[in-house]
Amino acid sequence: MSNPSNLRYAATHEWARQDGDVITVGVTAFAIEQLTEPTYLELPAVGAALAAGDKFGIIESYKSTSDLYSPVAGTVIERNEPLVDDGKRKGDPKPVNDDAFGAGWMVKIKLAPGATLDHLLTAEQYDQQLASEGH
Amino acid sequence: MSNLRTPLFQWHVDHKARMVPFGGWEMPVQYAGIGPEHKAVRSAAGLFDISHMARVSLGGPAALALLERIFTNSVATMKDGQVRYGLVCEDDGGILDDVLVYRWPDGFAAVINASNREKILTWIESQSDGLYAEVRDQTLDTTMIAVQGPKSVELVAGMFADDVSGLKYYYATPSRYKDKPCVVSRTGYTGEDGFEVIVPNALGVALWEEFIAKGVVPCGLGSRDTLRLEAAMPLYGHELNETIDPIHAGLSWAVKFDKGDFIGKAAIQKATADTTKPVRVGLEIEGKRAAREGCAITDADNAQVGTVTSGSLCPWLDKSLAMGYVNPQFASVGSALDIDVRGTKLPATVVPLPFYKRKK
């Protein structure tokens, strides 16, 4: 499994992609493989303020329920709406399973002033973490 | 202690199964995905490596009496080739395991949960006072494969030396596969029609690949768990353990008080009159979120009245379903409760079990 080198990673298996001060966040393909296919996703409302490491959502599979942690500090400016239930429509988190690093993105976060991605792992470091965990 | 591997281990790895430790074994949890595997079993057929289940033969003149002593269901009334579900209990009625007993013309066999293999073998030995039976653990010498689903009957046609398609539900027959002895039973743990086949290890991969070549979908423990949950079959370590008796587990049908004495009989009889202990129920949860083992079940006053033992979104019914134990006054069908999932209250209703029942 290859972890894209243009992304940064949290030890808790979220990825972050920087475009200026907007950070797109999802979870890694490795995490999804461990979780098995997602069945339910809960994401924060647009406008929610997050510190790095804050819980920002919940992902469920047939097997387990896991918390999602924000890799960066900032404010949620967009959610990947088709993935989540909105009361009128049942969300389908399938893109998270099929394309974890692409169509399966979850939220876009506007970086808090002064916040950076420097504390996050590079792809190489994340690969090493997975290898050291025996994967 | 490293985990055991079944003769199909390499096949699973080669076919991109995700392997997990389970009951002392390294087993596949899924190949293509739990959802598609589950649906394949309900709509066509799926294939399970269940070689981790313990297979034990019991022979000798005292085997019947020994089994009657340690098993809650009746053994003497079984016909040759019949398979029967029951419990192995302690003196206080606590469940040590749920097992299948097979009756043969010349002896008996039992299929025991993987995680309980050593516990039950030790238990049999410790309870055999005066009743010597020759107990042989054949788990590591044989491969056990389950084919489950409505297409199972047509799939087994011509595969074995005997026509097994006429086998009655919960019956087994010795036969031959590729000229070697095997056992075929019409049993399973998915809520579907199907067969479980035991072959010598040398033929395990051949049997597996013959089913795969016929289009049967390989399935892991993940879908095995969601299938058995949908069919409301208890799983040892979740719905059953040493602090739960068969009555409150809803398994009184597998206890025969009129068969003579057996270990736990007095305590289980007493349990039939105990209307204070929590009982096993089925719960349907609003929405798609799953309840998980250990979640508190609460009443309208937010008081805990029970605990979830298994829960998942179930792929075939596409409902969030759970089993758990609740205090008896909240156990009737229609009872409205809440399940506390990580601080969020999910509304749930007690519904009849099983959640899913196949059309005959």
Is A40 touching B (CB cutoff 8 A)?
Answer: yes
Q: How far is B353 from chain A, CA to nearest CA, in Å?
A: 20
- Residue A99 has a pLDDT of 96
Residue of B nearest to A42 (CA): B289
Torsion of CA B295, B301, B303, B308, to 10 degrees: -30
Residue where the block lists tokens 């009128």: A88
Q: Return the residue in A32, A39, A83, A97 with the most chain B beta carbons within 10 A, the one to mutate for interface testing.
A: A39
Is B345 touching A (CB cutoff 8 A)?
Answer: no
Mean pLDDT of A79-94: 85
Parallel/antiparallel/unpaired status of strands B46-49 and B217-219: parallel
Mean pLDDT of chain A: 94
Burial of B164 (0-12, 13-18, 19+ CB in 10 A): buried
Of A40, A62, A90, the CB nearest to B35: A62
Residue of B nearest to A34 (CA): B18
Domains assigned to chain A = 8-114 (2.40.50.100)
Indicate the CATH number for domain B275-351.
2.40.30.110
Torsion of CA B14, B15, B16, B21, to 10 degrees: -80
- CATH topology for the B1-274 domain: Gyrase A; domain 2 (3.30.1360)
> What's the CA gap between B33 and B149, in Å, rounded?
17
Residue where the block lists tokens 């940064």: A8
Q: Return the residue in B312, B314, B339 with the most chain A beta carbons within 10 A, the one to mutate for interface testing.
A: B312
Tokens of B64: 């019947």
> What's the CA gap between B266 and B29, in Å, rounded?
40
The radius of gyration computed from the CA coordinates of chain B, to the nearest angstrom, equals 20
Residue B201 DSSP class: G
Q: How far is A63 from chain B, CA to nearest CA, in Å?
A: 7
Tokens of B285: 């949860």
- The one-letter code for the residue type at B303 is A
Interchain contact, A39 vs B29, CB within 8 Å: no
The backbone region for B52, taken as left when phi is positive above 0, alpha when psi lies in -120 to 50, beta otherwise, is alpha
Of B225, B288, B292, the CB nearest to A39: B288
Parallel/antiparallel/unpaired status of strands B304-314 and B296-298: antiparallel
> What's the CA gap between B34 and B270, in Å, rounded?
41
Q: Is the model more confident about A91 or about B239?
A: B239
Q: What are phi and psi of B46, to 5 degrees?
A: -130, 160
Express each pLDDT in A26-42 by its tens digit: 999 999 999 999 999 99
Interchain contact, A37 vs B341, CB within 8 Å: no
Considering Cα of B262, then B264, then B267, then B271, what sign does the dihedral take?
negative
Nearest to B23, CA basis, from B57, B58, B50, B46: B50
Is A99 touching B (CB cutoff 8 A)?
Answer: no
Nearest to B199, CA basis, from B7, B1, B4: B7
> What's the CA gap between B310 and B228, in Å, rounded?
10
pLDDT at A116 over 70: yes
Residues of B with CB below 8 A from A85's CB?
A: 287-288
What residues have CB less than 8 Å from B308, skipping those under 6 apart? B283, B291, B292, B293, B294, B295, B296, B297, B322, B323, B324, B339
Is A85 touching B (CB cutoff 8 A)?
Answer: yes
HEC string of B20-63 equals EEECCEEEEEECCCHHHHHHHHHHCCEEEECCCCEEEEEECCCH
Q: B28: which strand partners? A: B19
Residue of A nearest to B229 (CA): A62
Q: Which of residues 106-125 of B touch A (CB under 8 A)?
A: none
Longest dimension (CA), chain B: 65
Express each pLDDT in A55-68 by its tens digit: 999 999 999 999 99
What residues have CB less than 8 Å from B181, skipping those under 6 apart? B174, B175, B200
Please, are residues A58 and A42 in contact by the beta-carbon 8 Å criterion? yes
Nearest to B181, CA basis, from B160, B208, B164: B160
Residues of B with CB below 8 A from A40's CB?
A: 288-290, 313
Please, are residues B90 and B268 in contact by the beta-carbon 8 Å criterion? no
The backbone region for B33, taken as left when phi is positive above 0, alpha when psi lies in -120 to 50, beta otherwise, is left
Q: How far is B171 from chain A, CA to nearest CA, in Å?
A: 32
- Residue A2 has a pLDDT of 84
Is A33 touching B (CB cutoff 8 A)?
Answer: yes
Interchain contact, B313 vs A40, CB within 8 Å: yes
First and final C-alpha spacing in chain A = 10
Nearest to B133, CA basis, from B213, B65, B188: B65
Nearest to B263, CA basis, from B100, B97, B72: B72
> What's the CA gap between B45 and B148, in Å, rounded?
5
- Residue A117 has a pLDDT of 96
Separation in Å, CA A91 to CA A42, A69, A85, B35, B315:
10, 20, 4, 16, 16
Tell me if domain B1-274 and domain B275-351 are identical in fold: no
What ipTM does the predicted assembly reach? 0.87
Is A90 touching B (CB cutoff 8 A)?
Answer: yes
Residues of A with CB below 8 A from B312's CB?
A: 62-63
Is B33 touching A (CB cutoff 8 A)?
Answer: yes
Nearest to A110, CA basis, from A69, A49, A61: A49
Residue of B nearest to A91 (CA): B288
- Residue B1 has a pLDDT of 60
In chain B, what are the domain boundaries? 1-274, 275-351
> What's the CA gap between B42 and B150, in Å, rounded?
7
Q: How far is A42 from chain B, CA to nearest CA, in Å?
A: 10
Express each pLDDT in A42-58 by its tens digit: 999 999 999 999 999 99
Nearest to A84, CA basis, from A107, A50, A54: A107
Residues of B with CB below 8 A from A90's CB?
A: 288
Interchain contact, B18 vs A34, CB within 8 Å: yes
Q: Which of residues 283-322 of B touch A (CB under 8 A)?
A: 287-290, 292, 312-313, 315
- Residue B253 has a pLDDT of 98
Q: What is the mean pLDDT of each run of 10 residues along chain B (360 residues)?
A: 92 96 95 96 98 97 96 98 98 98 97 97 94 94 98 97 96 98 98 98 98 98 98 98 98 97 98 96 96 97 97 97 98 98 95 93
